[in-house]
Amino acid sequence: MSDIQTISRVYEAFANRDLTAVLAVMDPAVTFTQEAPLPWGGVHHGVEGVQTFLTTLLSHLDPQVTVEALYSSGEHVVQIGRTSGRVLGNGKWFDLPEVHIWRLVDGRIVSYQAHTDVPGLLEVLG
């Protein structure tokens, strides 16, 4: 399976909230990074860290990712798209641009960086 296929399947699993499938392709030493001001932000290490990231994210938002472009760049797969959905705490809707940068080694995800419109997210989070 190509790296792009792996990441496509991760997005499909996330859309279905199949976190077991998402975690299954993580390297044990994976690192997830999201801007720190967000409640789920910071640097998360290992599969447990990714699980914490995902459960914290999903306790605040009901997000959907729209992939507009997905391409390979060496060991990286870059996703350009949008995240939209509803804030669980206040019901506000959002639709914001994002870029995700994934790094894979031997078909396993070793790092993920999320670059999102942080001011926009903080505004809807209240």
Residue 108: give the domain boundaries.
3-125
Count the domains in the chain.
Answer: 1
Residue 1, pLDDT > 90, answer no
Distances (CA, A) of 6 to 3, 24, 86, 105, 123: 5, 11, 27, 11, 33
Q: What is the pLDDT of residues 87-96, one digit of tens each?
A: 999 999 999 9
Mean pLDDT of 103-109: 96
Q: What is the pLDDT of residues 8-23, one digit of tens each?
A: 999 999 999 999 999 9
Model-level pTM greater than 0.75?
yes
Residue 74, pLDDT > 90, answer no
Q: What is the pLDDT of residue 119?
A: 96
Q: What is the pLDDT of residue 14?
A: 98
Interatomic CA distance for residues 31 and 103, integer angstroms? 10
Which CATH number do you get for residue 26? Answer: 3.10.450.50
CB-side exposure of 25: number of CA atoms within 13 Å? 28
Number of C-beta neighbours around residue 32 at 10 A: 22
